Amino acid sequence: MKLPIKRLISQIILFFSANLGYPGYPGLKTGFCYPFFYCQACPAATSACPLRSLEQSVDKGSFAWRLFLFPLLIIGFLGVLTGRAVCSWACPIGLLQRCTGRVARKFKKTGIARKLGKHKAEKYLRYTKYFLLIGLVFVTSYLIGFIFTDICPVGFLTGTIPVLLLNPGKFVPNYFFPVALVIFILFIVLIFLIERGWCRYFCPVGALLGPFNKISFLHISVETKECTHCNVCSYICPMGIDVPNMHRDPECILCGKCVTACPQNNITFKRR
């Protein structure tokens, strides 16, 4: 079976696994945190968003160590084993971005996208997700009680919209709704314009998983000595990584596109 098909099957199975909580179908509500980005407000959610647990652990100057460590350990466990592979093999938002990727790849060929993609600020923009994680998940929660999940576009997509659709007329927007709607629209525009735009620049869960790429058992290895620098791998990489020169890059989501694309078979998955 080809790698993209395996990955698609994995994403679909995990999407359904993440949605076994709808009352009666079968109504499985667990006490786990997802190791990826998904909202517990989804009517069918089985688990909690890791960010929600983290925010709650540091709410307004408090510190609940159990709620703080629990999501970090779940993410850490998978992170040590597979690095950021969760983003491309399990995350439902990754699956969504896979669907919008075709449009984004077309846009990538336009002049403006090429120009922006080569801009030196682009690589610094990738640090935004770390600022979001530290700033909006930890610092503002700790200092003023403002939490990221109140304006989260993923929560809007997987929580707010399904609740509105399943309960027509039963809910009205609250004061966070307009801001969250604007951010959600920007999120949708982003993922249609930039392949894996959310994962690249903004995903705080990706920021938690990224550093584990440095030590994960599973990683992508490039035989640099054999490399002909045709750059097919870099061109096809959804995360825009300079693949021949990467070594355990925190941005790599181990999707394996470069592995499949390399004409010399110089790129492989390594287990250690």
Q: Could you list the residues that contact other proteins (CB under 8 A)?
A: 21, 29-33, 39-41, 45-49, 52-53, 55-56, 59-60, 62, 64, 66-67, 69-70, 73-74, 76-77, 80-81, 141, 145-147, 149-150, 152, 155-156, 159-160, 163-164, 169-177, 180, 215-217, 272
Candidates 153, 154, 158, 150; CA nearest to 181 is 153
- Whole-angstrom distance, CA of residue 20 vs CA of residue 26: 6
Going from the C-alpha of 123 to that of each of 118, 127, 203, 238, 251, the distances in angstroms are 9, 8, 15, 14, 10
Candidates 256, 258, 202, 265; CA nearest to 83 is 256
- Residue number with CB closer to other proteins (21 or 197): 21
Residues forming a β-bridge with 48: 33
Provide the minimum distance between the beta carbon of 180 and other proteins in the complex, in angstroms, as a whole number: 5
- Residue number with CB closer to other proteins (210 or 238): 210
Provide the minimum distance between the beta carbon of 212 and other proteins in the complex, in angstroms, as a whole number: 8
Provide the minimum distance between the beta carbon of 167 and other proteins in the complex, in angstroms, as a whole number: 8
Residue 213 exposure: Cα atoms within 13 Å on the Cβ side: 23
What is the phi/psi pair of residue 33, to 5°?
-105, 140
What is the phi/psi pair of residue 89, to 5°?
-105, -15
Provide the minimum distance between the beta carbon of 11 and other proteins in the complex, in angstroms, as a whole number: 22
Candidates 102, 96, 88; CA nearest to 193 is 102
- Whole-angstrom distance, CA of residue 242 vs CA of residue 21: 40
- Residue number with CB closer to other proteins (4 or 173): 173
Provide the minimum distance between the beta carbon of 154 and other proteins in the complex, in angstroms, as a whole number: 11
- Residue number with CB closer to other proteins (72 or 116): 72
Provide the minimum distance between the beta carbon of 176 and other proteins in the complex, in angstroms, as a whole number: 5
| Count of CB atoms situated within 10 Å of the CB of 126 | 19
- Residue number with CB closer to other proteins (13 or 80): 80
DSSP 8-class letter at 222: E
- Residue number with CB closer to other proteins (11 or 158): 158
